[in-house]
Amino acid sequence: ALGCSANATLALSRARGIGQLVGPWAWGMALTAGIYISGGVSGGHLNPAVTLGMISVGKLHWKKMFHYIGAQFLGAFLGATVTLLVYHQSLEPKELEHASAFGTFPNNNINTGTVVIDQIVATAFFLLLINAITDERNMTLPKGLIPIAIGITDLGLMIYSFGYNCGAPLNPARDFSPRLLSVMAGWNTVFKENNYYFWVPLLCPIIGGVIGSWLYKLMIELHWPQNSYDLTTAKIDESENNSNSNKRVKPL
């Protein structure tokens, strides 16, 4: 709801230059808020590309795939519905530009091949960084800061790296569900626009997510010392033993 509402505000105000900053900030904050809210329940899985990427490397059991992804698409649809309810008096189905409140669209001079590469590469970087941020054997970021770090990562990818071609959707649920709602609300051509572009943000982030997760596994995780956890446990046990020995009654 927060991201789509920001898009609606930008579309209605016809903001151009400022939109390149405001939109990504809104989506980054929305992602951070979503992870804080759902982190204790699902680990903050809001993106099918993240979920499938983690499943592919064994960090999430495949049995969780169906209800996680179902909830992600449903949540995106309900969030977009909130935006439509708030802005229904201003958003006009006759204005295709207003449909950008819900789905992403590539720039007119960008072809399908370019946005395919764009979304695979961008989401691969996204998952590469998420795997690094959440890896306890890496920089050991405090748990409470993980949502902020992931939100900043999303923000950076949208503003500075991969925002120009098609707005860096990075999330199949974030694009497809709001786009479906926009069809129901009267924007009848959004699935046909730009040579049926809609399939690119639906499928390519998943490919990129799997690639990014495997890149981290192959380049980083497989090279950690096998006994890294054992060393940590040994240090804790040693510390506890020293502490207990200091508490013993010394003979007179």
Residues above pLDDT 70, as percent of the chain: 87
- The reply to whether 24 falls in a domain is yes
Higher pLDDT, 219 or 23: 219
The per-residue pLDDT for range 158-185, each reduced to its tens digit, is: 877 888 899 889 999 999 999 999 999 9
- The 3 state secondary structure assigned to 37-92 is HHHHHHCCCCCHHHHHHHHHCCCCCHHHHHHHHHHHHHHHHHHHHHHHHHHCCCCC
| Whole-number Cα distances in Å, 78 to 11, 88, 131 | 20, 15, 28
- The reply to whether 230 falls in a domain is no
- The reply to whether 127 falls in a domain is yes
| Distance, CA of 61 to CA of 68 (rounded, Å) | 11
- The reply to whether 106 falls in a domain is yes
| Distance, CA of 252 to CA of 176 (rounded, Å) | 77
Task: Point out the least confidently predicted range of 18-27, 64-73, 177-186.
Answer: 18-27
Q: How many domains does the chain have?
A: 1
- The reply to whether 229 falls in a domain is no
**Which two tokens mark 127?**
């998952």
**Which two tokens mark 63?**
């049995």
Provide the domain limits for residue 78.
Answer: 1-222
- The reply to whether 234 falls in a domain is no
* Angle, CA 159 vertex, CA 154 and CA 163 arms, to 5°: 90
pTM score, whole prediction: 0.85
Please tell me what DSSP assigns to residue 167. Answer: -
CB atoms within 10 A of CB 203: 16
Residue found by looking up tokens 């240090």 in the block? 235
Q: What is the CATH number of the domain that holds 167?
A: 1.20.1080.10
